[in-house]
Structure 1
Amino acid sequence: MTIMLPSIDKPADAATLELVERQRTLYEGPEIDSRLDHLIRETPHPTLSSRDIQQLLRSSRALYFDSHVEVVSGHHTGVYLRFESIARFPDLITRIALNMAEWIVDTFGNDPPDGIITTSSDARLLAQRTSDLLATRLPIRVALTPFNPQTGKIGTDIVHGSVSAGERFLALNDVTTRGMCVNKLGTVVTDHGGQVAGMMVFARRDSGQFPLMAELTSTYPFYFSVDLEMPQWEPADCHLCREKQPLFLWRDLPAL
């Protein structure tokens, strides 16, 4: 398979080029499946199989291993999941959305929500494809909030669609670490007089250390396709900082 060089908005420095080359070598070798398997935790409800998850993550090359990345929250991690790498492939989006649609039917078949609210990031692709797949069974519309690709922050306005008083919406995000963004989407719904029917993310990436996630998963019907063991640290507690490993910002990492 021919591997193309990444398209990067600014010249890559030597550390980035070395990191990219290291990741590509890993993905082309025999170790990648065991590395992926080590990250995948069992989910509390049937979602994608471990084999499906491995194939999806491997084919999209969505994970950066043995790295040192500052994520949107400001935490540091040694393994980073880049959802934009998955979003490049419509067939992978469809695979995830099919599972999301099945979960919605199973969970809300007798009382379907009115819509899905998500951000104007690549998460919108999941929401729209899920809505399309449900069109003939449970018509669900999509509402979007703003997304800043430089900061990773979401806004509280609705820039597409609407939420009316009394309507029930699912809050959907592509990836969650602390639960802050998906919770903020839920707040947008309630601020417009609606109700939060449940929450959905493609991946939960942490090691179970954030209290808000436990609160959200115990309060709402909560779907995630993938549960990944990806510890995050405050910068002051980051051992990679102490080891003086090069630090990369999440937004500067190219597709592999």
Structure 2
Amino acid sequence: MMSSIAKSSEPAILELMERQKTFYNGSELDVRLEHLIRDTPHPTLSSWDIQRLLRDSRAVYFDSHVEVVSGHHTDVYLRFESIARFPDLVTLIASNMAEWVMQTFRHHPPTGIITTSSDARMLAERTSDILAAQMPLRVVLTPFNHETGKIGTDIIQGTVETGERFLSLNDVTTRGLCVSKLGKVVTDRGGQLAGMMVFARRDSGQFPLMDELTARFPFYFGVDLDMPQWDAPDCHSCKEHTPLLSWRDLPAL
């Protein structure tokens, strides 16, 4: 029998928050964080920096049961909005992104970065600020629906002109759909997609599109996290009747 999101999930959220707070104050946190981090194919954020980011922001919900935007279920959830509360952590990620952009595109700089009007814009704007003197990049924004988690294909800030080269940026990716959709916003307007950037990849190698994208484009991800997801019929937490919570209902810890 599959679980469904309860009409009144407040008790389950409060219980989950208390468990998370106890866990973050305990002795097992660093070990669990270390086990989440997968090796990346290129030098990015150090393991120490990644653990600091996740620990200080309390961005990871462990031993949970969360329905993500795609409808998949997971028992370990990364909430980027928790990281976005801390300007120094945003700067840490953006500095690493900027370094990758400089190294990757030093001979053929892109025109700008396209991202959503979610908290991902903070990464794009800070990266652009850091690169301003050496490689100016303008930031273009598309809509973001905070209720559904979906991005739009209109442009609400900036422009994409024919022949201009853009990097598509999102905060977190699972299947690669949103960062790919941002790229299509560019190409539909006659621009070119130069590469892709996300702070965290959390697909655990499950979704083929991510392998296709990383093979086709220069692709930055600062951290690769082992956060498996399941369709509802295959979800072990559903079978155990663990209360299911929506990604949109999870607060900062």
TM-score by length of 2: 0.96
**Which residue of 53, 66, 75 maps to 2:63?**
66
Deviation readout 1:153-203 (Å, 9 max, x if unpaired): 000000001110000000000000000000000000000100000000000
Tell me by how many angstroms 1:14 deviates: 1.4
Paired with 1:227 and 1:12, the residues of 2 have a C-alpha distance of 30
Tell me by how many angstroms 1:151 deviates: 0.2
**Which residue in the other structure is 1:182 paired with?**
179
**Which residue in the other structure is 2:249 paired with?**
252
Paired with 2:224 and 2:78, the residues of 1 have a C-alpha distance of 12
The gaps in structure 2 that reach 5 residues or longer are: 1-7
**Which residue in the other structure is 1:81 paired with?**
78
Paired with 1:233 and 1:133, the residues of 2 have a C-alpha distance of 38
3-state DSSP class of the match of 1:206? coil
Residue 134, structure 1, aligned to residue 121, structure 2: no
Tell me by how many angstroms 1:33 deviates: 0.3
**Which residue of 92, 108, 111 maps to 1:95?**
92
**Which residue in the other structure is 1:30 paired with?**
27
How do 1:1-256 and structure 2 match up within 5 A? 13-256=10-253
Structure 2 counterpart of 1:73, one-letter code: S
Paired with 1:212 and 1:12, the residues of 2 have a C-alpha distance of 33
Deviation readout 1:93-118 (Å, 9 max, x if unpaired): 00000000000000001111000000
Paired with 2:32 and 2:134, the residues of 1 have a C-alpha distance of 39
Paired with 1:191 and 1:183, the residues of 2 have a C-alpha distance of 12
2:167–2:195: 8 Å Cα contact kept in structure 1?
yes
3-state DSSP class of the match of 2:241? coil
Tell me by how many angstroms 1:12 deviates: 6.4
2:115–2:142: 8 Å Cα contact kept in structure 1?
yes
Runs (4+) of structure 1 exceeding 2 A deviation are none
2:9–2:245: 8 Å Cα contact kept in structure 1?
no
**Which residue in the other structure is 1:8 paired with?**
none
2:196–2:217: 8 Å Cα contact kept in structure 1?
yes
3-state DSSP class of the match of 1:169? strand
The gaps in structure 1 that reach 5 residues or longer are: 1-10
Structure 2 counterpart of 1:74, one-letter code: G
Tell me by how many angstroms 1:206 deviates: 1.9
3-state DSSP class of the match of 1:154? coil
Cα RMSD, aligned residues only: 0.8
Higher relative contact order (CA 8 A, sep 6+): 2
3-state DSSP class of the match of 2:18? helix
Tell me by how many angstroms 1:239 deviates: 1.1
